[in-house]
Amino acid sequence: MSHHIWQLTRWTCGLIVSVMKTALLFGMISTASIVQADCPASPEIADDQALLFTQAQQAQSEAEARPISQELWRLWARAPDDQAQALLDRGMAARGSFDFVSANEAFDRLIAYCPNYAEGYNQRAFVSFLRQDYAAALVDLNEAIDRSPYHVAALAGKALTLFGLDRPEEAQQALRKAVGLNPWISERRLLTVPNRVDL
């Protein structure tokens, strides 16, 4: 190989490496931009939730408390953005049709997109519970409660799941927390009240 060809080859290789480095750097920047543009923060519901809990605790009957519980559900099911809402709604619709595979696919995508949104975990847990996969349900319920400690439905779901796992004492603890927030949930009938308990 002549000296001229050798120099040209070195120059070509150098150019290719330079282009590859630039492409890699651009790819890293683009990926970072996508990550930063991901799911926004979950809606701020603390004040509305606290008000609804007060109303539920003051309700005189289950019928009076029912619309309050429904409003709580609307708060928890308020997704961070339209994309997250579409995934949540799609998963819930599939679950309602007992299409658990499609439901899990939607909830998996929701959790991957919005990992800090509690309802994605809660809904996936419900699918696992319906499939009697209580261990998987418990993992997701704990994730939901970590992100939304006053999520009554997740707390009640955790209680039912712990009953399914034959862990009644822990189930009672979770249920007691849920009933303390909303004394009218249907699961309250499973509660056994010790001598000293603050509901």
> How large is the angle between the packed helices 46-58 and 62-76, nearest 10 degrees?
170
Distance CA 126, CA 141 (A): 9
Question: What is the model's pLDDT at position 25?
Answer: 42
197 within domain boundaries: no
Instruction: Using alpha carbons, list the distances in angstroms from residue 52 to 69, 88, 131, 146.
Output: 8, 23, 31, 21
Distance CA 185, CA 66 (A): 9
Contact, 178 vs 185, CB < 8 A? Answer: yes
Question: What is the model's pLDDT at position 112?
Answer: 98
Question: What is the model's pLDDT at position 119?
Answer: 98
Query: What's the domain range around 9?
Result: 1-37
Q: Which residue has the tokens 């559900």?
A: 73
Same domain, 23 and 108: no
- Specify the CATH number for the domain of residue 98: 1.25.40.10
Same domain, 29 and 69: no
Into how many domains does the chain fold? Answer: 2
Question: What is the model's pLDDT at position 199?
Answer: 44
Instruction: Using alpha carbons, list the distances in angstroms from residue 130 to 98, 135, 168, 170, 174.
Output: 9, 12, 19, 20, 19
**Which among 26, 42, 43 is positioned nearest to 34, based on CA atoms?**
26
Question: What is the model's pLDDT at position 197?
Answer: 40
196 within domain boundaries: no
Same domain, 61 and 117: yes
199 within domain boundaries: no
- Tell me the backbone φ, ψ of residue 73, rounded to 5 degrees: -60, -40
What is the mean pLDDT, run by run of 10 residues, along the chain of 199 residues? 43 44 42 54 95 96 96 97 98 98 98 98 98 98 98 98 98 97 96 57
Same domain, 158 and 61: yes
Same domain, 20 and 107: no
Q: Residues with Cβ < 8 Å from 105, sequence gap 6 or more?
A: 91
CB-facing half-sphere around the CA of 67: CA atoms within 13 A: 2
Same domain, 144 and 168: yes
SS (H, E, C) 73-104: HHHHCCCCCHHHHHHHHHHHHHHHCCCHHHHH
16 within domain boundaries: yes
Question: Which pair of tokens denotes residue 119?
Answer: 């309802």
Question: What is the model's pLDDT at position 103?
Answer: 98
Same domain, 93 and 162: yes
Question: Which pair of tokens denotes residue 161?
Answer: 């799941």
Same domain, 160 and 74: yes
Question: What is the model's pLDDT at position 100?
Answer: 98
- Tell me the backbone φ, ψ of residue 57, rounded to 5 degrees: -70, -25
Same domain, 54 and 7: no
184 within domain boundaries: yes
